[in-house]
Chain A
Amino acid sequence: MAAKTLTIDGHLVSARPGETLLAAIREAGITIPTLCHLDGLSDVGACRLCLVEIEGQRRLQPACMTMVSEGMVVHTNTPRLQAYRRQIIELLFAERNHVCAVCVASGNCELQRLAGMVGMDHVRYEYLSPDCPVDISHARFGIDHNRCVLCTRCVRACDEIEGVHTWDVAGRGVDARVITDMNQPWGTSTTCTSCGKCLLACPTGAIFPRGVTVGERPHASERIALIVDARKQRW
Protein backbone atom coordinates (compact mmCIF):
# COMPACT_ATOMS: atom_id res chain seq x y z
CA MET A 1 0.00 0.00 0.00
CA ALA A 2 1.20 3.48 -0.82
CA ALA A 3 2.30 5.79 1.95
CA LYS A 4 -0.03 8.65 2.85
CA THR A 5 1.25 12.18 2.65
CA LEU A 6 -0.12 14.76 5.02
CA THR A 7 0.81 18.17 6.41
CA ILE A 8 1.39 18.51 10.14
CA ASP A 9 2.05 22.03 11.46
CA GLY A 10 3.26 23.07 8.03
CA HIS A 11 5.61 20.11 7.53
CA LEU A 12 5.02 17.47 4.86
CA VAL A 13 4.96 14.07 6.55
CA SER A 14 4.55 10.60 5.10
CA ALA A 15 2.79 7.95 7.13
CA ARG A 16 1.88 4.31 6.73
CA PRO A 17 -1.75 3.58 5.82
CA GLY A 18 -3.69 2.54 8.92
CA GLU A 19 -1.40 4.51 11.17
CA THR A 20 -2.98 6.83 13.73
CA LEU A 21 -2.49 10.54 13.48
CA LEU A 22 -0.87 10.44 16.93
CA ALA A 23 1.80 8.05 15.66
CA ALA A 24 2.41 10.22 12.59
CA ILE A 25 2.66 13.37 14.75
CA ARG A 26 5.19 11.69 17.03
CA GLU A 27 7.22 10.36 14.09
CA ALA A 28 7.37 13.94 12.84
CA GLY A 29 9.11 14.81 16.10
CA ILE A 30 6.18 16.84 17.44
CA THR A 31 5.14 16.40 21.06
CA ILE A 32 1.47 16.70 21.97
CA PRO A 33 0.09 15.91 25.41
CA THR A 34 -1.55 12.51 25.97
CA LEU A 35 -2.87 10.80 29.08
CA CYS A 36 -5.20 7.90 28.33
CA HIS A 37 -2.97 6.70 25.47
CA LEU A 38 -0.31 4.18 26.47
CA ASP A 39 1.97 2.45 23.95
CA GLY A 40 1.07 -1.24 23.95
CA LEU A 41 -2.62 -0.74 24.80
CA SER A 42 -5.62 -0.05 22.57
CA ASP A 43 -6.78 3.57 22.32
CA VAL A 44 -10.06 4.89 23.70
CA GLY A 45 -9.88 8.66 23.09
CA ALA A 46 -11.08 9.35 26.63
CA CYS A 47 -8.88 12.18 27.89
CA ARG A 48 -9.19 14.51 24.85
CA LEU A 49 -5.71 15.95 25.42
CA CYS A 50 -4.47 14.89 21.97
CA LEU A 51 -7.26 16.76 20.17
CA VAL A 52 -6.00 18.36 16.95
CA GLU A 53 -7.47 20.64 14.29
CA ILE A 54 -7.92 19.11 10.85
CA GLU A 55 -8.59 21.56 8.03
CA GLY A 56 -12.02 21.07 6.48
CA GLN A 57 -13.43 19.49 9.65
CA ARG A 58 -15.36 21.66 12.03
CA ARG A 59 -14.91 19.35 15.01
CA LEU A 60 -11.65 18.73 16.79
CA GLN A 61 -10.44 15.15 16.50
CA PRO A 62 -8.47 13.02 18.99
CA ALA A 63 -5.18 12.18 17.24
CA CYS A 64 -5.03 8.75 18.91
CA MET A 65 -8.36 7.67 17.35
CA THR A 66 -7.97 9.28 13.92
CA MET A 67 -6.37 7.41 11.02
CA VAL A 68 -4.06 9.28 8.67
CA SER A 69 -5.42 10.04 5.22
CA GLU A 70 -3.97 11.45 2.04
CA GLY A 71 -3.74 15.23 1.91
CA MET A 72 -4.80 15.80 5.52
CA VAL A 73 -3.75 19.21 6.88
CA VAL A 74 -3.33 19.06 10.66
CA HIS A 75 -2.59 21.69 13.30
CA THR A 76 -1.45 20.36 16.67
CA ASN A 77 -0.78 23.43 18.77
CA THR A 78 -3.17 26.32 18.02
CA PRO A 79 -4.24 28.76 20.75
CA ARG A 80 -7.67 27.09 20.73
CA LEU A 81 -6.12 23.66 21.39
CA GLN A 82 -3.81 25.08 24.05
CA ALA A 83 -6.79 26.61 25.85
CA TYR A 84 -8.77 23.34 25.77
CA ARG A 85 -5.79 21.28 26.97
CA ARG A 86 -5.22 23.53 29.95
CA GLN A 87 -8.95 23.44 30.71
CA ILE A 88 -8.94 19.62 30.64
CA ILE A 89 -6.02 19.39 33.07
CA GLU A 90 -7.62 21.98 35.37
CA LEU A 91 -10.87 20.00 35.42
CA LEU A 92 -8.98 16.80 36.27
CA PHE A 93 -7.31 18.57 39.21
CA ALA A 94 -10.66 20.03 40.33
CA GLU A 95 -12.54 16.72 40.12
CA ARG A 96 -10.57 14.66 42.69
CA ASN A 97 -8.09 15.40 45.47
CA HIS A 98 -4.72 15.61 43.73
CA VAL A 99 -2.23 16.72 46.38
CA CYS A 100 1.25 16.42 44.87
CA ALA A 101 2.94 17.27 48.18
CA VAL A 102 1.73 14.05 49.81
CA CYS A 103 1.57 11.76 46.76
CA VAL A 104 3.61 8.61 46.17
CA ALA A 105 4.01 9.57 42.49
CA SER A 106 5.23 13.17 42.97
CA GLY A 107 8.10 13.75 40.56
CA ASN A 108 7.11 10.66 38.53
CA CYS A 109 3.54 11.60 37.68
CA GLU A 110 2.08 12.23 34.23
CA LEU A 111 -0.68 14.51 35.56
CA GLN A 112 1.85 16.62 37.47
CA ARG A 113 4.06 16.85 34.36
CA LEU A 114 1.08 17.72 32.15
CA ALA A 115 0.11 20.58 34.50
CA GLY A 116 3.48 22.15 33.73
CA MET A 117 3.31 21.31 30.04
CA VAL A 118 -0.07 23.01 29.50
CA GLY A 119 0.83 26.03 31.64
CA MET A 120 -1.58 25.38 34.52
CA ASP A 121 -0.28 27.93 37.05
CA HIS A 122 -3.55 27.65 38.96
CA VAL A 123 -6.98 25.99 38.68
CA ARG A 124 -9.80 28.39 37.77
CA TYR A 125 -12.57 25.99 38.80
CA GLU A 126 -13.94 25.22 42.22
CA TYR A 127 -12.46 22.04 43.68
CA LEU A 128 -15.14 19.37 44.15
CA SER A 129 -13.22 17.77 47.07
CA PRO A 130 -15.09 14.45 46.86
CA ASP A 131 -14.82 11.95 49.70
CA CYS A 132 -12.93 9.14 47.92
CA PRO A 133 -11.98 5.80 49.45
CA VAL A 134 -8.51 4.23 49.57
CA ASP A 135 -8.49 0.45 49.21
CA ILE A 136 -5.44 -1.29 50.68
CA SER A 137 -7.08 -4.69 51.08
CA HIS A 138 -4.72 -6.21 48.50
CA ALA A 139 -1.54 -7.71 49.96
CA ARG A 140 0.84 -5.91 47.60
CA PHE A 141 -0.95 -2.93 46.03
CA GLY A 142 -3.31 -0.13 46.97
CA ILE A 143 -5.73 2.06 45.03
CA ASP A 144 -6.34 5.66 46.08
CA HIS A 145 -9.36 6.97 44.20
CA ASN A 146 -8.45 10.55 45.16
CA ARG A 147 -5.68 10.36 42.55
CA CYS A 148 -7.51 8.48 39.78
CA VAL A 149 -8.15 10.33 36.50
CA LEU A 150 -10.28 7.52 34.96
CA CYS A 151 -7.89 7.10 32.01
CA THR A 152 -8.74 3.35 32.15
CA ARG A 153 -5.15 2.35 31.39
CA CYS A 154 -5.33 -0.15 34.32
CA VAL A 155 -8.56 -1.58 32.89
CA ARG A 156 -7.02 -2.07 29.44
CA ALA A 157 -3.68 -3.40 30.72
CA CYS A 158 -5.51 -5.96 32.88
CA ASP A 159 -7.83 -7.00 30.06
CA GLU A 160 -5.56 -6.82 27.02
CA ILE A 161 -2.12 -7.73 28.38
CA GLU A 162 -2.81 -9.88 31.42
CA GLY A 163 -6.08 -11.21 29.95
CA VAL A 164 -7.88 -11.14 33.27
CA HIS A 165 -10.19 -8.09 33.31
CA THR A 166 -10.22 -7.69 37.07
CA TRP A 167 -10.57 -3.92 36.60
CA ASP A 168 -13.54 -2.11 35.13
CA VAL A 169 -15.41 1.16 35.56
CA ALA A 170 -18.64 1.59 37.52
CA GLY A 171 -20.86 4.65 37.94
CA ARG A 172 -21.35 7.67 35.74
CA GLY A 173 -19.93 11.19 35.52
CA VAL A 174 -18.21 12.41 38.68
CA ASP A 175 -19.38 9.25 40.46
CA ALA A 176 -17.47 6.95 38.09
CA ARG A 177 -14.83 4.81 39.81
CA VAL A 178 -12.52 2.04 38.67
CA ILE A 179 -13.55 -1.16 40.41
CA THR A 180 -12.16 -4.66 40.91
CA ASP A 181 -14.35 -7.68 40.11
CA MET A 182 -17.94 -7.03 41.25
CA ASN A 183 -17.08 -3.70 42.94
CA GLN A 184 -15.58 -5.44 45.94
CA PRO A 185 -12.37 -4.85 47.95
CA TRP A 186 -9.37 -5.56 45.72
CA GLY A 187 -7.98 -8.05 48.24
CA THR A 188 -11.07 -10.21 47.88
CA SER A 189 -10.83 -10.37 44.07
CA THR A 190 -10.73 -13.95 42.83
CA THR A 191 -9.54 -12.98 39.34
CA CYS A 192 -6.59 -10.71 40.19
CA THR A 193 -3.26 -12.46 39.55
CA SER A 194 -1.29 -9.76 41.43
CA CYS A 195 0.78 -9.24 38.26
CA GLY A 196 1.11 -5.49 38.81
CA LYS A 197 0.44 -4.41 35.21
CA CYS A 198 -2.24 -1.98 36.42
CA LEU A 199 0.44 -0.42 38.60
CA LEU A 200 2.79 -0.10 35.61
CA ALA A 201 0.04 1.44 33.48
CA CYS A 202 -1.21 3.98 36.04
CA PRO A 203 -0.11 7.53 35.07
CA THR A 204 -0.63 9.00 38.56
CA GLY A 205 -0.22 7.71 42.10
CA ALA A 206 -3.70 6.13 42.13
CA ILE A 207 -2.36 2.57 42.02
CA PHE A 208 0.74 2.11 44.13
CA PRO A 209 2.83 -0.63 45.77
CA ARG A 210 2.04 -0.84 49.47
CA GLY A 211 4.69 0.63 51.73
CA VAL A 212 5.91 3.43 49.44
CA THR A 213 5.72 7.01 50.63
CA VAL A 214 5.92 10.48 49.02
CA GLY A 215 7.70 10.49 45.67
CA GLU A 216 8.76 6.85 45.99
CA ARG A 217 6.54 5.33 43.29
CA PRO A 218 8.63 5.16 40.12
CA HIS A 219 6.97 5.74 36.77
CA ALA A 220 7.30 2.61 34.63
CA SER A 221 4.43 2.78 32.12
CA GLU A 222 6.81 2.18 29.19
CA ARG A 223 7.22 -1.38 30.48
CA ILE A 224 3.74 -2.20 29.17
CA ALA A 225 5.03 -1.67 25.59
CA LEU A 226 8.17 -3.70 26.41
CA ILE A 227 6.01 -6.63 27.52
CA VAL A 228 3.95 -6.42 24.33
CA ASP A 229 7.06 -6.27 22.13
CA ALA A 230 8.75 -9.13 23.99
CA ARG A 231 5.73 -11.36 23.40
CA LYS A 232 5.76 -10.58 19.69
CA GLN A 233 9.38 -11.66 19.49
CA ARG A 234 8.86 -14.87 21.42
CA TRP A 235 5.71 -16.02 19.66
Chain B
Amino acid sequence: MSRLRIATIWLGGCSGCHMSLLDLDEWLIELAARADLVYSPIADAKRFPPNVDLTLIEGAIANDEHLELAQTARRHSKIIVSFGDCAVTGNVTALRNPLGTAQSVLQQVYIEHGDPGGVIPRDPGIVPVLLDKVVPVHQVIPVDYYLPGCPPSAPRIRALLEALIEGREPATDIRYG
Protein backbone atom coordinates (compact mmCIF):
# COMPACT_ATOMS: atom_id res chain seq x y z
CA MET B 1 0.00 0.00 0.00
CA SER B 2 1.40 3.40 -0.94
CA ARG B 3 1.83 5.87 1.87
CA LEU B 4 -0.94 8.36 2.37
CA ARG B 5 -0.13 12.06 1.93
CA ILE B 6 -1.75 14.12 4.68
CA ALA B 7 -1.70 17.90 5.13
CA THR B 8 -3.08 20.18 7.83
CA ILE B 9 -3.54 23.92 7.51
CA TRP B 10 -4.12 26.57 10.15
CA LEU B 11 -6.29 29.49 9.07
CA GLY B 12 -8.33 31.83 11.32
CA GLY B 13 -8.24 29.76 14.51
CA CYS B 14 -6.33 29.50 17.78
CA SER B 15 -4.38 26.31 16.89
CA GLY B 16 -6.35 24.47 19.58
CA CYS B 17 -7.47 21.91 16.99
CA HIS B 18 -3.84 21.23 16.11
CA MET B 19 -3.10 20.90 19.85
CA SER B 20 -5.91 18.35 20.04
CA LEU B 21 -4.35 16.52 17.08
CA LEU B 22 -1.08 16.32 19.01
CA ASP B 23 -3.11 14.92 21.91
CA LEU B 24 -3.29 11.69 19.92
CA ASP B 25 0.04 10.88 21.58
CA GLU B 26 1.42 7.47 20.65
CA TRP B 27 -1.20 6.91 17.95
CA LEU B 28 0.69 9.58 15.98
CA ILE B 29 3.54 7.07 15.73
CA GLU B 30 1.16 4.51 14.23
CA LEU B 31 -0.11 7.22 11.88
CA ALA B 32 3.45 8.09 10.88
CA ALA B 33 3.98 4.45 9.89
CA ARG B 34 1.17 4.72 7.34
CA ALA B 35 1.22 8.33 6.20
CA ASP B 36 3.47 11.29 5.48
CA LEU B 37 2.67 14.73 6.82
CA VAL B 38 3.50 16.72 3.70
CA TYR B 39 2.37 20.19 4.81
CA SER B 40 1.44 21.49 8.26
CA PRO B 41 2.24 24.19 10.84
CA ILE B 42 4.14 21.38 12.58
CA ALA B 43 6.03 20.23 9.46
CA ASP B 44 8.83 22.01 7.62
CA ALA B 45 7.27 22.67 4.23
CA LYS B 46 7.00 26.14 2.73
CA ARG B 47 4.60 25.45 -0.11
CA PHE B 48 1.42 23.41 -0.23
CA PRO B 49 2.44 20.38 -2.34
CA PRO B 50 0.45 18.66 -5.10
CA ASN B 51 -1.26 15.24 -4.86
CA VAL B 52 -2.38 15.37 -1.22
CA ASP B 53 -4.82 12.63 -0.17
CA LEU B 54 -6.31 14.29 2.89
CA THR B 55 -6.20 17.86 4.21
CA LEU B 56 -7.50 18.96 7.61
CA ILE B 57 -8.39 22.67 7.69
CA GLU B 58 -8.43 24.37 11.07
CA GLY B 59 -9.87 27.86 11.29
CA ALA B 60 -12.26 30.15 9.47
CA ILE B 61 -11.56 32.25 6.38
CA ALA B 62 -10.72 35.67 7.81
CA ASN B 63 -8.17 37.21 5.42
CA ASP B 64 -6.89 37.03 1.85
CA GLU B 65 -4.09 34.63 2.78
CA HIS B 66 -6.60 32.15 4.28
CA LEU B 67 -8.71 32.34 1.15
CA GLU B 68 -5.76 31.66 -1.13
CA LEU B 69 -4.41 28.77 0.97
CA ALA B 70 -7.85 27.14 1.22
CA GLN B 71 -8.23 27.34 -2.57
CA THR B 72 -4.75 25.92 -3.09
CA ALA B 73 -5.48 23.10 -0.64
CA ARG B 74 -8.70 22.29 -2.48
CA ARG B 75 -6.95 22.15 -5.86
CA HIS B 76 -4.30 19.76 -4.56
CA SER B 77 -6.31 17.55 -2.15
CA LYS B 78 -8.59 14.60 -2.75
CA ILE B 79 -10.40 15.00 0.58
CA ILE B 80 -10.91 18.20 2.57
CA VAL B 81 -12.07 18.07 6.20
CA SER B 82 -13.38 21.16 8.00
CA PHE B 83 -11.55 20.56 11.25
CA GLY B 84 -13.11 22.17 14.34
CA ASP B 85 -15.77 24.79 15.02
CA CYS B 86 -13.97 27.77 13.41
CA ALA B 87 -13.66 25.92 10.10
CA VAL B 88 -17.23 24.58 10.35
CA THR B 89 -19.13 27.64 11.66
CA GLY B 90 -16.75 30.61 11.90
CA ASN B 91 -17.01 30.31 15.70
CA VAL B 92 -14.89 32.72 17.78
CA THR B 93 -13.07 34.01 14.69
CA ALA B 94 -16.43 35.18 13.30
CA LEU B 95 -17.37 37.04 16.50
CA ARG B 96 -16.20 40.22 14.76
CA ASN B 97 -18.81 39.95 12.02
CA PRO B 98 -21.55 41.89 13.90
CA LEU B 99 -19.07 44.80 14.22
CA GLY B 100 -19.30 45.50 10.49
CA THR B 101 -16.71 45.68 7.70
CA ALA B 102 -12.98 44.98 8.16
CA GLN B 103 -12.31 48.73 8.25
CA SER B 104 -14.94 49.25 10.93
CA VAL B 105 -13.51 46.37 13.02
CA LEU B 106 -9.94 47.71 12.74
CA GLN B 107 -11.14 51.20 13.65
CA GLN B 108 -12.89 49.92 16.76
CA VAL B 109 -10.04 47.64 17.88
CA TYR B 110 -6.98 49.82 17.16
CA ILE B 111 -8.35 53.36 17.47
CA GLU B 112 -11.51 53.48 19.60
CA HIS B 113 -10.55 50.77 22.10
CA GLY B 114 -6.78 50.73 21.47
CA ASP B 115 -3.88 52.54 23.11
CA PRO B 116 -3.82 56.34 22.75
CA GLY B 117 -2.14 57.22 19.46
CA GLY B 118 -2.86 53.75 18.07
CA VAL B 119 -2.67 53.18 14.34
CA ILE B 120 -4.23 50.57 12.10
CA PRO B 121 -1.51 48.16 10.91
CA ARG B 122 -1.10 48.36 7.15
CA ASP B 123 1.75 46.59 5.38
CA PRO B 124 0.69 45.38 1.93
CA GLY B 125 2.32 42.09 1.01
CA ILE B 126 3.32 41.40 4.62
CA VAL B 127 0.23 41.70 6.82
CA PRO B 128 -2.66 39.77 5.24
CA VAL B 129 -5.68 41.92 4.42
CA LEU B 130 -8.82 41.14 6.46
CA LEU B 131 -11.92 40.12 4.57
CA ASP B 132 -15.07 42.10 5.38
CA LYS B 133 -16.77 39.01 6.73
CA VAL B 134 -15.30 35.91 8.37
CA VAL B 135 -16.86 32.84 6.74
CA PRO B 136 -16.70 29.09 7.33
CA VAL B 137 -14.50 27.07 4.97
CA HIS B 138 -17.41 25.49 3.08
CA GLN B 139 -18.54 28.95 1.91
CA VAL B 140 -15.37 29.39 -0.19
CA ILE B 141 -14.43 25.82 -1.26
CA PRO B 142 -16.30 22.50 -1.38
CA VAL B 143 -15.74 20.50 1.83
CA ASP B 144 -16.04 16.71 2.01
CA TYR B 145 -16.30 16.07 5.77
CA TYR B 146 -17.00 18.13 8.88
CA LEU B 147 -15.62 17.55 12.38
CA PRO B 148 -17.10 20.21 14.68
CA GLY B 149 -15.86 20.78 18.21
CA CYS B 150 -13.86 23.46 20.02
CA PRO B 151 -11.61 21.61 19.78
CA PRO B 152 -12.68 18.14 18.64
CA SER B 153 -11.24 15.68 21.17
CA ALA B 154 -8.32 13.44 20.21
CA PRO B 155 -10.47 10.26 20.15
CA ARG B 156 -12.94 11.96 17.78
CA ILE B 157 -10.10 13.05 15.47
CA ARG B 158 -8.70 9.53 15.54
CA ALA B 159 -12.07 7.98 14.69
CA LEU B 160 -12.40 10.24 11.65
CA LEU B 161 -8.81 9.73 10.47
CA GLU B 162 -8.99 5.95 10.89
CA ALA B 163 -12.16 5.79 8.81
CA LEU B 164 -10.76 8.00 6.05
CA ILE B 165 -7.41 6.19 5.95
CA GLU B 166 -9.18 2.84 5.63
CA GLY B 167 -11.46 4.25 2.95
CA ARG B 168 -14.59 3.88 5.11
CA GLU B 169 -17.36 6.44 5.44
CA PRO B 170 -16.81 8.10 8.86
CA ALA B 171 -19.62 7.80 11.41
CA THR B 172 -21.65 10.96 11.93
CA ASP B 173 -20.14 12.74 14.91
CA ILE B 174 -21.63 16.11 15.75
CA ARG B 175 -20.69 18.03 18.86
CA TYR B 176 -20.29 21.80 18.78
CA GLY B 177 -18.33 23.69 21.43
Contact = CB atoms under 8 A, between A and B. Distances in A.
Interface of A: 93, 97, 99-103, 106-107, 112, 115-116, 119-123, 126-127, 129-132, 215
Nearest to A106: B177
A100 B176 contact: yes
Contacts of A106: 176-177
Given A102-B95, A122-B89, A129-B98, 9 more contacts: A97-B95, A101-B92, A115-B174, A122-B148, A127-B90, A127-B135, A129-B97, A131-B99, A215-B177
A121 B149 CA distance: 11
Nearest to A119: B172
Nearest to A94: B89
Given A127-B97, A129-B133, A131-B99, A101 B172 contact: no
B78 interface: no
Contacts of B174: 115-116, 119-121
A85 to B, nearest CB: 14
- Which residue among B97, B133, B172, B176 has the maximum number of chain A CB atoms within 10 Å of its CB? B176
Interface residues of B, number: 26
B92 A116 contact: no
A101 B177 contact: yes
B176 A115 contact: yes
Nearest to A146: B98
A120 B146 CA distance: 10
- Which residue among A101, A112, A119, A131 has the maximum number of chain B CB atoms within 10 Å of its CB? A101
B89 A121 contact: no
Given A99-B91, A115-B176, A122 B138 contact: yes
Contacts of A130: 98
B85 interface: yes
A100 B85 contact: yes
Interface of B: 82, 85, 88-92, 94-95, 97-99, 133, 135-136, 138-139, 143, 146, 148, 150, 172, 174-177
A103 B85 CA distance: 13
A106 B92 CA distance: 14
A214 B107 CA distance: 28
A122 B143 contact: yes
Given A103-B177, A122-B146, A123-B89, A129 B172 contact: no
A99 B96 CA distance: 12
A122 B90 CA distance: 11
Nearest to A101: B150
A124 to B, nearest CB: 8
- 6 nearest interchain CB pairs? A100-B177, A129-B97, A101-B150, A106-B177, A121-B146, A100-B176
A97 B98 contact: yes
A100 B150 contact: yes
Contacts of B175: 116
- Which residue among A115, A119, A122, A127 has the maximum number of chain B CB atoms within 10 Å of its CB? A122
10 contacts: A93-B89, A99-B89, A102-B92, A103-B177, A106-B176, A115-B174, A116-B176, A121-B174, A122-B89, A127-B90
